[in-house]
């Protein structure tokens, strides 16, 4: 069986620290597309006001890559490459979790007042979503 098919794996997901300018007046963090995130940022959106116990995400993207940041509060990000699973707790405004395309991800355990910022490599496109987990597993499986 050929293993040359390029599947995406959890190894490519990584936590990165952005520049943090500490100041007695308060902290400042910034990101530049292509420098602090490994893609040009085409879209930003944020999730907030999540009621206790609710989950967001629960899908993968065919093409979109993203950087997930807990701007305020905390939440968990569950990652799944079709073979293995891993969970990250995000709780710092200067820390980003990079998630490439073709990784199933789900966000949960939002604290009160949590704000989740997502920097994305693509504009919104519903056709880029894989919302069915068995379809995702099938797409991640190397061809025989
Ligand atoms: P979705 O990405 O499914 O939310 P989550 O992954 O957090 O559960 O998006 C929810 C709805 O919002 C869906 O109907 C599409 C719409 N939406 C946009 O119109 N533009 C966007 O940039 C995003 C992220 C979502």
DSSP labels, the chain: ----S----GGG-EEEEPPEE--TT--EE---BTTTBSS---EEEEEE-PPTT--EEEEEESS--EEEEEEES-EEEEEE-SS-EEEEEE--TTEEEEE-SS-EEEEE-PPTT-EEEEEESS---GGGEE--HHHHHHHHSPP-
Average pLDDT of the residues of the chain: 93
Average pLDDT over residues 8-13: 92
- Atom 1 in ligand 1: residue holding the nearest Cα: 57
Query: How many angstroms is it from 85 CA to the middle of ligand 1?
Result: 23
- pLDDT at 7 exceeding the cut of 90: no
Q: What is the mean pLDDT of residues 122-132?
A: 98
pLDDT exceeds 90 at position 70: yes
pLDDT at 140 over 50: yes
Place of tokens 């707790």: 89
State pTM to two decimals.
0.94
pLDDT, residue 6, reads 52
pLDDT at residue 1 tops 50? no
Give 63 Cα–ligand 1 centroid separation in angstroms: 16
Quote the percentage of the chain above a pLDDT of 70.
94
Report the distance separating Cα 73 and Cα 42, nearest Å: 25
Q: Name the band, by pLDDT with cuts 50, 70 and 90, for residue 2.
A: very low
Total count of residues recorded for the chain: 144
Taking CB atoms and a 6 Å cutoff, what residues make up the pocket around ligand 1?
43, 45, 47, 56-57, 124
Q: How confident is the model at residue 4 (pLDDT cuts 50, 70, 90)?
A: very low
User: Over the stretch 88-121, which tens digit does the pLDDT of each residue have?
Assistant: 999 999 999 999 999 999 999 999 999 999 999 9
**Alpha carbon of 79 to those of 8, 86, 99, 105, 133: distances in Å?**
12, 5, 8, 5, 12
Residue with the smallest CA separation from ligand 1 atom 3 is 57
User: Which atom of ligand 1 is found nearest the CA of 123?
Assistant: 22
pLDDT digits (tens, 9 = 90+) for 11-42: 999 999 999 999 999 999 999 988 999 999 99
């Amino acid at each position: 069986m050929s293993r040359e098919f390029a599947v995406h794996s959890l190894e490519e997901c990584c936590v990165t620290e952005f520049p943090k300018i500490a100041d007695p007046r308060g902290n400042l963090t910034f990101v530049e597309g292509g420098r602090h995130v490994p893609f040009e940022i085409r879209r930003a959106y944020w999730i907030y006001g999540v009621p206790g116990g609710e989950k967001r995400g629960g899908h993968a993207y065919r093409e979109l890559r993203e950087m997930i940041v807990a701007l305020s509060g905390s939440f968990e990000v569950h990652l799944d490459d079709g073979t293995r699973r891993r969970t990250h707790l995000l709780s710092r405004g200067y820390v980003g979790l990079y998630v490439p395309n073709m990784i199933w991800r789900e966000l949960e355990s939002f604290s009160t007042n949590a704000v989740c910022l997502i920097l994305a490599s693509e504009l919104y496109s519903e056709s880029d979503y894989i919302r069915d987990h068995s379809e995702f597993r099938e797409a991640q499986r190397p061809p025989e």
